Amino acid sequence: MEYVFSNAAVARSFTAYMGTAVGVDAPSKWRIAVPGLPNGFNQVDLVAVGVILLISVCICYSTKESSKVNMVLTAVHVAFILFIIVMGFWRGDARNLTHPADPAHPGGFFPNGVGGVFSGAAMVYLSYIGYDAVSTMAEEVERPARDIPIGVSGSVIIVTVLYCLMAASMSMLLPYDAIDTEAPFSGAFRGSDGWGWVSNVIGAGASLGILTSLMVAMLGQARYLCVIGRSGVMPAWLAKVHPKTATPVNASAFLGLLTAALALFTELDILLNLVCIGTLFVFYMVSNAVVYRRYVVGPTGSSTESGDRQPSAWPTLAFLLAFSLIALSFTLVWKLAPEGGRTRVGLLSACGAAAVATVGAFQALVPQAHTPELWGVPGMPWVPAASVFLNVFLLGSLDRPSYVRFGFFSAAAVLVYVLYSVHASYDAEESATLDGAKVQDEACRV
């Protein structure tokens, strides 16, 4: 879900940046208004649909060729990013970091306080989707045990540094309340005497960057669905790998059409909110799963510290539940308690102390059941616990409509799982037990 929504959102933003590159700044000129449809779903974006379908065809054709195109686009994109950073610091003014364009708006380096920082963090979580897509290529790299951790960790570090530099340069170019939300970087130079060409260059560079982002994400999402299809949770038809191109053609085509359908109608802000809440929830679940896997049941081939007998799951489940409740309590106090009062500070401090004590007690009392042989999350259980806490906290920064939409899609997913996936995956496991191996198609062997 998060991949489909994020790709649709990125494709919608492509329209705005491409318009800037060719001198047609208003995204509305590239979209068709459809009267009668509800707000947020009444702007048809055919450009976004075309981009998604084109990339879908590319990734269906060949992973190798797609990777070559992606490498070229990425090199050009990084050059444009460095260009934006240099232009921002050169043309920017440090005064813009603290002074709004409209004096009526709050000023200072934290115009909306610490709460504004966390609300912003919840929104830019979108930028941290895709690193996990590196892991989906494990079957297609020569040394996955070495290359996958380097690829994930290295890309996170590099992109975080570039992201921070770009945010700083943007904040120096314009006050926060004058930034164009559709195409911020190209919009910063729009109308500047003698600098209008920079807006066009940035629009072209951002367009290439969006194509890179889409290609990587769509490569990853198709492989996720292919693996899910192998397990029987989704129809095995989606796990079909083309014998000539060696790509999951059915999964790529299905997800391409679904993403295009969403990008056709849905506005960017609605998609962004759905992506953020979906991503935060998924990362929350993954953080819990990491603890459970390490302390209860590990992957095949890992060594056992406490003998062959699998430990009880209840201590770990109790810890995960208690810690999540503490994080939720901290979030509710932060959101609902009056600011500046001693009661609020005391409650927040108590929740923080309880969180630290809970993690410390769990670490001291419950031994790890497994030690990963190749690579594992360091600092257990503190690192995943911090992730759980931050994800719950950032989830509290999102608006009510986002939860309603997320609840609708989650309910639909649960319905499919209960009515189809449970039975299909059980039948697949039974078949695997009888046959000695589970083969969903001739090219996907498990």
pLDDT tens digits for 151-161? 888 888 888 89
User: Confidence band (pLDDT; 50, 70, 90) for 446?
Assistant: very low
Do 7 and 34 fall within a single domain?
yes
Of 398, 426, 441, which residue sits at a domain end? 398
Q: What pLDDT, on a 0 to 100 scale, did the predictor assign at position 45?
A: 85
Domains of the chain: total? 2
Question: Could you give the count of Cα atoms lying within 13 Å of 314 in the half-sphere of its Cβ?
Answer: 1
- Give the C-alpha separation, 91 to 360, whole Å: 49
Do 353 and 388 fall within a single domain?
yes
Residue 299 has pLDDT above 60, yes or no: no
Question: Which residues touch 57 (CB under 8 Å, ≥6 apart)?
Answer: none
| Amino acid in the structure at residue 176 | Y
Length of the chain: 446
Asked whether 19 and 240 are in contact (CB, 8 A), the reply is no
Return phi, psi of residue 356, to 5°.
-65, -40
> Is residue 419 one of the residues assigned to a domain?
no
From the number of C-beta atoms within 10 Å of its C-beta (0-12, 13-18, 19+), residue 9 rates as buried
Do 230 and 317 fall within a single domain?
no
Task: State which residues form the domain around 172.
Answer: 1-98+115-266
> Is residue 127 one of the residues assigned to a domain?
yes
Most confident of 233-237, 270-274, 324-328, 399-403: 324-328
Look at 128 and 368; give whichever has higher pLDDT: 368
Do 87 and 141 fall within a single domain?
yes
> Is residue 420 one of the residues assigned to a domain?
no
- Give the C-alpha separation, 396 to 128, whole Å: 18
User: Confidence band (pLDDT; 50, 70, 90) for 194?
Assistant: low
Do 199 and 74 fall within a single domain?
yes
* Residue in the structure block whose two tokens are 């509800």: 38
> Is residue 437 one of the residues assigned to a domain?
no
Q: What is the CATH number of the domain that holds 125?
A: 1.20.1740.10
Under DSSP, the state recorded for 271 is H
> Is residue 138 one of the residues assigned to a domain?
yes
Alpha-helical regions (H) of 62-98 = 63-91
| Amino acid in the structure at residue 416 | V
Do 203 and 284 fall within a single domain?
no
> Is residue 415 one of the residues assigned to a domain?
no
Count of CB atoms situated within 10 Å of the CB of 106: 13
Long-range contacts of 45-49 (CB under 8 A, 24+ apart): 45/11, 45/12, 45/15, 45/263, 45/264, 45/265, 46/264, 47/14, 47/15, 47/18, 48/8, 48/11, 48/12, 48/14, 48/15, 48/260, 48/263, 48/264, 49/11, 49/260, 49/263, 49/264
Count of CB atoms situated within 10 Å of the CB of 375: 13
pLDDT tens digits for 337-371? 887 778 888 999 999 999 999 999 999 999 988 87
Residue 150 has pLDDT above 60, yes or no: yes
- Give the C-alpha separation, 355 to 357, whole Å: 5
Return phi, psi of residue 92, to 5°.
-75, 170
Give me 335's structure tokens.
């959101």
Do 256 and 283 fall within a single domain?
no
**What is the pTM for the complete model shown?**
0.73
Do 240 and 337 fall within a single domain?
no
Give me 82's structure tokens.
């460095």
Do 248 and 392 fall within a single domain?
no
Do 262 and 325 fall within a single domain?
no
Asked whether 389 and 268 are in contact (CB, 8 A), the reply is no
Say how far residue 419 (Cα) sits from the centre of its chain: 28
* Residue 370: strand, helix, or coil: strand
Do 282 and 262 fall within a single domain?
no
E strand or H helix that includes residue 371? strand 370-371
Residue 336 has pLDDT above 70, yes or no: yes
Per-residue 3-state assignment (H helix, E strand, C coil) for 16-34 = HHHHHHCCCCCHHHHCEEC
* Residue 136: strand, helix, or coil: helix
Residue 139 has pLDDT above 90, yes or no: no
Q: What pLDDT, on a 0 to 100 scale, did the predictor assign at position 135?
A: 72
pLDDT tens digits for 9-35? 888 888 777 776 666 665 666 777 778
Do 221 and 280 fall within a single domain?
no
Q: Mean pLDDT over all residues of the chain?
A: 80
Asked whether 303 and 369 are in contact (CB, 8 A), the reply is no
User: Confidence band (pLDDT; 50, 70, 90) for 325?
Assistant: very high
> Is residue 434 one of the residues assigned to a domain?
no
